[in-house]
C-alpha cells in the first residue's frame, strides 16, 4: 500500500505541544503537508500554529476523552475537508515502584497512553475507511520490554501494541484501504522525564543511548507515505528486544542497572509533573545529562527494505554474542 505524497496530505497529530508530536508537526509542515494539531496546552498550540502559518489548524483536546478526540476529527473535516494520516503521539509516564504509585496516577496514565490511542485510532479509522490513508501509533521500545520504575508506562505500551496489531488484522480482514504502523522509539531526547509524575528520590532521566526526536518524526512521516508494520527508532532498542527474546532471564537480571540508569544525581525538580495538569509544554527536547546521538543508522536503514535484512542479521549476531553467557548469580565468585 502506498499513500499520497506528503505535500498533498492532511495530517492529524495528537500530543503536538511537545516532544515527538511537536517535532513531527514542524517537519510535516516544512515538507508541505497541512496539519491539524491537538494537545491539552492550547496556548502552546496557538504559538506553533502562528509559527507554521495558515496550513495549520489546532484544537485543545484531552485524548482520554472520546468526545474530545471526535472533535479533533470534526475540526480536520471542517477546516481541510478531512485527513489522510492520523498520528497518535500523546503520552506521559510515571516513575517509581508500582506499589508506591497512587491509583489515580495509574488510572490517568492508562487513560492517556492507552485509551488516548484507542480513541484516536477508532475515530480515525471511521474516516479513513472511506478515503484511505494511514494510522500511525507511537508505542515504545517498552511495547516489547519491561522497565522497572516505569511499570505502568510499559504496561500501557504493551497494550498499545496489542490493540494496534489487532486493529491492523481486522482492517486487513475487511479489505479496508488503511495502513496501520506502530512506531517504537527507544530513549528520545524529549521533555518526557521532566513532565513525568515522579515518586523517586532523584530527578528522572532516560537510559542511554538517547536519540533526537527528529528521528522519530522522520520515521512517522515516512510511514505516512510508505507504510511499514513496525518501525524501531534507535538500533539500541532493537538490540535489547532481540537480546531479551534470546535470553529473557538475563534481561530480568538487569533490573538494578535499569533502575539506576533512570536516575540523575540531583533531587526531584517537580514531582507532580504534567500527568494531571498540562505544563512544561512547548519544547521538542529535554535536558539529558549525556550526549544525544545525531541519528539512528539502524532506523534510517530499515526505512529502505533492501537494507533491512542485512541490518537485522547483524543485530541478531550481536545480541546472541552479548547474551550467550548466563550472568553470574549474586554472591558467586
Which residues belong to the active site? 153
* Longest alpha-carbon distance in the chain: 69
User: What grid cell was written down for 129?
Assistant: 475507511
Sign of the torsion formed by the C-alpha atoms of 74, 75, 78 and 79 = negative
Core vs surface per residue 279-288: b (16+ CB within 10 A) or e:
ebbebbbbeb
CB 60 within 8 A of CB 90: no
User: What grid cell was written down for 166?
Assistant: 489487532
CB 185 within 8 A of CB 230: no
CB 205 within 8 A of CB 289: yes
CB 86 within 8 A of CB 72: no
User: What grid cell was written down for 197?
Assistant: 509524575
Helix (H) or strand (E) holding 234: none
Half-sphere exposure in the Cβ direction for 104 (13 Å, CA): 3
Helix (H) or strand (E) holding 232: strand 230-233
Cα–Cα dist 68/81, whole Å: 19
- Three-state secondary-structure class, residue 201: coil
CB 311 within 8 A of CB 302: yes
Please count the helices (runs of H) and the strands (runs of E) in the chain. Answer: 12, 9
Core vs surface per residue 58-93: b (16+ CB within 10 A) or e:
bbbbbbbeeebbebbbebbeebbebbbbbbbbbbbb
Which DSSP state fits 209?
A: S
Amino acid at each position: 500500500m502506498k499513500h499520497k505524497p506528503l505535500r498533498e496530505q492532511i495530517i492529524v497529530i495528537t500530543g503536538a505541544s511537545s516532544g515527538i508530536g511537536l517535532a513531527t508537526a514542524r517537519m510535516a509542515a516544512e515538507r508541505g503537508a497541512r496539519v491539524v494539531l491537538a494537545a491539552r496546552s492550547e496556548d502552546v498550540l496557538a504559538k506553533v500554529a502562528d509559527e507554521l502559518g495558515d496550513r495549520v489548524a489546532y484544537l485543545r483536546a484531552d485524548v482520554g476523552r472520546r468526545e474530545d478526540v471526535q472533535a479533533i476529527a470534526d475540526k480536520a473535516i471542517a477546516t481541510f475537508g478531512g485527513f489522510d494520516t492520523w498520528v497518535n503521539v500523546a503520552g506521559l509516564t510515571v516513575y517509581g515502584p508500582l506499589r508506591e504509585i497512587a491509583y489515580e496516577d495509574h488510572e490517568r496514565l492508562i487513560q492517556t497512553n492507552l485509551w488516548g490511542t484507542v480513541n484516536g485510532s477508532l475515530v480515525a479509522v471511521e474516516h479513513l475507511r472511506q478515503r484511505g490513508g494511514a494510522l500511525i501509533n507511537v508505542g515504545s521500545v517498552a511495547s516489547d520490554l519491561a522497565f522497572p520504575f516505569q511499570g505502568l508506562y510499559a504496561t500501557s505500551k504493551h497494550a498499545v501494541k496489542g490493540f494496534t496489531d489487532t486493529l491492523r488484522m481486522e482492517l486487513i480482514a475487511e479489505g479496508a484501504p488503511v495502513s496501520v504502523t506502530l512506531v517504537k522509539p527507544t530513549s528520545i531526547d524529549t521533555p518526557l522525564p521532566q513532565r513525568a509524575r515522579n515518586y523517586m528520590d532523584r530527578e528522572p532521566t532516560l537510559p542511554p543511548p538517547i536519540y533526537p526526536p527528529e528521528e522519530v518524526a522522520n520515521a512517522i512521516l515516512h510511514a505516512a507515505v510508505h507504510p511499514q508494520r513496525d518501525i524501531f527508532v534507535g538500533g539500541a532498542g532493537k538490540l535489547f528486544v532481540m537480546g531479551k527474546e534470546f535470553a529473557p532471564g538475563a534481561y530480568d537480571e538487569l533490573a538494578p542497572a535499569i533502575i539506576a540508569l533512570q536516575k540523575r544525581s540531583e533531587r526531584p525538580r517537580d514531582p507532580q509533573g504534567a500527568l494531571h495538569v498540562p505544563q512544561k509544554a512547548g519544547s521538542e527536547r529535554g535536558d539529558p545529562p549525556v550526549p544525544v546521538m545525531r541519528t539512528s543508522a539502524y532506523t534510517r536503514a530499515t526505512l529502505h527494505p533492501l537494507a533491512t535484512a542485512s541490518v537485522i542479521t547483524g543485530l541478531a549476531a550481536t545480541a546472541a554474542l552479548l547474551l550467550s553467557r548466563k550472568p553470574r548469580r549474586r554472591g558467586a565468585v
